[in-house]
């Protein structure tokens, strides 16, 4: 709640700035996983022109490097590492250096990813450079998020909501950018280049927004009054929980699902729409539902049961139309099955994650919330890393 003597947020500039900063923190992860078809074609060793195709009917092509799995694992391990190191790091490095330095590093690494579209390179070195970029980008993203959460702990709760909304829309933004690149009608190389330049523009906007905060009276007023570490930690826990997915199958398995229809426009757009865009929209919708009701409550045994039942999505997705398989049969070949599973998967993910975060503070005493928040953040990061590791096993079982 805003203080009585606080200045007004003129033209909502501070709110817009934190919304864009929230968007920028999760753009890297979402732009990498949404572009999985592009990376798979490059790693398949295709020729000079076809290697740069952003997305055609190659979504289900052979993934010799296990790119889907590695990009997921190397995105989550930095989160686990910096969850352990954040207390030490945040005491030794000034806040401005952490935030601005992370944004600039992410910008340069994404510029490198965009530049590689124009570079002919054999699959091995391309894979190594891309994986190093993924690891470093997500390391800087972890530092960036933790630092911004600390700043948001000093602001009214409305600004935390705006920041989290920006994070929630990052996946939708990446999926729409993919679809626009595919539908633009330009050549494949220009389409891929435009796609990877888009997050660079987003990061530049985030840098401008951050640099503008000290010049806005409203932001100066609140950021000059640092709140307790407990507030920042509680917000950090909430934001990290809101971005989790069942990483054992998404995107490692779901990105391999192809349309069972004849080759054409629908089969070309099937995975970007039905996997990434649909997931992010329905996940955002699921999180929004907790604004209207909280069911089941914290004392109900139904909540842990519902969370455990989500494991059923693992075999369901593995039995969908993934052509490259040698062990399991395809029991759900029609597109409608995959779309239905994805709808339920995404809504339940968003709703249960948000519900758990809303109910968690009620389970501990007020003075225990800081420790509980730290433990929740650590075990979340550990769980995400374990899920990413399990994706190798599930892919091998196909």
Per-residue pLDDT for 66 more than 60?
Answer: yes
Report percent pLDDT > 90 for the chain: 35
- 115: which 2 tokens? 């530049």
Helix (H, G, I), strand (E, B) or coil at 332: strand
Residue that is written with structure tokens 């995404």 in the block: 346
Angstrom CA distances, 69 to 36, 250, 275, 385, 396, stand at: 11, 9, 16, 11, 11
pLDDT of 226-277, one tens digit each? 544 444 444 444 444 444 476 788 888 999 999 999 888 899 899 999 999 9
Mean pLDDT lowest for which of 159-168, 170-179, 371-380?
371-380
| pLDDT recorded at residue 257 | 93
Tell me the CATH class for 10-397.
mainly alpha
Is residue 396's pLDDT more than 50? yes
- Write out the two tokens for 207: 């840098």
**What average pLDDT does the segment 126-132 reach?**
94
Q: At residue 206, does pLDDT exceed 90?
A: yes
What pLDDT score does 136 carry?
Answer: 93
Poorest-pLDDT segment among 117-126, 146-155, 165-174, 255-264: 146-155
Kindly give, in sequence order, each residue whose CB lies less than 8 Å from that of residue 196, ignoring residues fewer than 6 positions away: 31, 35, 110, 113, 114, 117
Q: What is the pLDDT confidence band of residue 166, given thresholds at 50, 70 and 90?
A: confident
CB-CB neighbours of 25 under 10 Å: 26
- Kindly report the average pLDDT of the chain as a whole number: 82
- Measured CA to CA, the distance from residue 69 to residue 150 in angstroms comes to 31
| Of the candidates 398, 249, 265, 248, the residue with the CA atom closest to the CA atom of residue 338 | 249
| pLDDT score for 237 | 44
Task: Yes or no: say if 65 and 125 are a contact pair by the CB < 8 Å rule.
Answer: no
Please list the helix, strand and coil fractions of the chain in percent, rounded to the nearest 5, in that order.
75, 0, 25
Q: Is the pLDDT of residue 87 over 70?
A: no
- CA 110, CA 100: separation in Å to the nearest integer? 15
Q: Is the pLDDT of residue 64 over 80?
A: no
At 385 the pLDDT is: 83
Which two tokens mark 360?
């968690």
* Whole-structure pTM value: 0.81
143 pLDDT exceeds 50?
yes
Query: How many CB atoms lie under 10 A from the CB of residue 154?
Result: 18
Tell me what the mean pLDDT of segment 144-165 comes to.
Answer: 80
């Amino acid at each position: 709640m805003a203080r009585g003597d606080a200045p007004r947020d003129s033209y909502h500039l501070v709110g817009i700035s934190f919304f864009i900063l929230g968007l920028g923190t999760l753009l890297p992860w979402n732009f990498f996983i949404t572009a999985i078809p592009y990376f798979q074609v490059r790693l398949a060793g295709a020729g000079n022109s076809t290697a740069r195709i952003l997305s055609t009917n190659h979504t289900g092509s052979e993934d010799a490097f296990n790119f889907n799995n590695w990009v997921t694992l190397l995105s989550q391990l930095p989160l686990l590492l910096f969850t352990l190191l954040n207390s030490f790091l945040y005491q030794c490095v000034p806040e401005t250096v952490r935030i601005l330095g992370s944004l600039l590093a992410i910008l340069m690494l994404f510029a490198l990813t965009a530049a590689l579209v124009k570079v002919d390179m054999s699959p091995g070195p391309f894979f190594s450079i891309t994986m190093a970029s993924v690891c470093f980008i997500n390391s800087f993203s972890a530092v960036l998020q933790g630092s911004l959460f600390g700043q948001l702990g000093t602001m009214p709760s409305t600004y935390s909501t705006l920041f989290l909304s920006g994070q929630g829309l990052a996946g939708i933004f990446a999926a729409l950018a993919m679809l626009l690149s595919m539908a633009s009608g330009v050549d494949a190389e220009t389409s891929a280049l435009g796609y990877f330049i888009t997050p660079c523009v987003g990061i530049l906007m985030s840098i401008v927004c951050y640099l503008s905060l000290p010049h806005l009276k409203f932001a100066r007023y609140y950021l000059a009054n640092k709140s307790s570490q407990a507030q920042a930690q509680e917000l950090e826990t909430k934001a990290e929980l809101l971005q989790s997915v069942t990483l054992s199958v998404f995107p490692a398995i779901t990105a391999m699902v192809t349309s069972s229809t004849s080759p054409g426009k629908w089969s070309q757009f099937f995975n970007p729409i039905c996997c990434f865009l649909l997931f992010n929209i329905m996940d955002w919708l699921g999180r929004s539902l907790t604004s209207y009701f909280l069911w089941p409550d914290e004392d109900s045994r139904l909540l842990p049961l519902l969370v455990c039942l989500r494991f059923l999505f693992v075999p369901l997705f593995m039995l969908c139309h993934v052509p490259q398989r040698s062990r399991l049969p395809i029991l759900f070949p029609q597109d409608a099955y995959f779309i239905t599973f994805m709808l339920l998967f995404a809504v339940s993910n968003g709703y249960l994650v948000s519900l758990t975060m809303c109910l968690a503070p009620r389970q501990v005493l007020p003075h225990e919330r800081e420790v509980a928040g730290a433990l929740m953040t650590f075990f979340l990061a550990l769980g995400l890393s374990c899920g990413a590791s399990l994706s190798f096993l599930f892919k091998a079982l196909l």
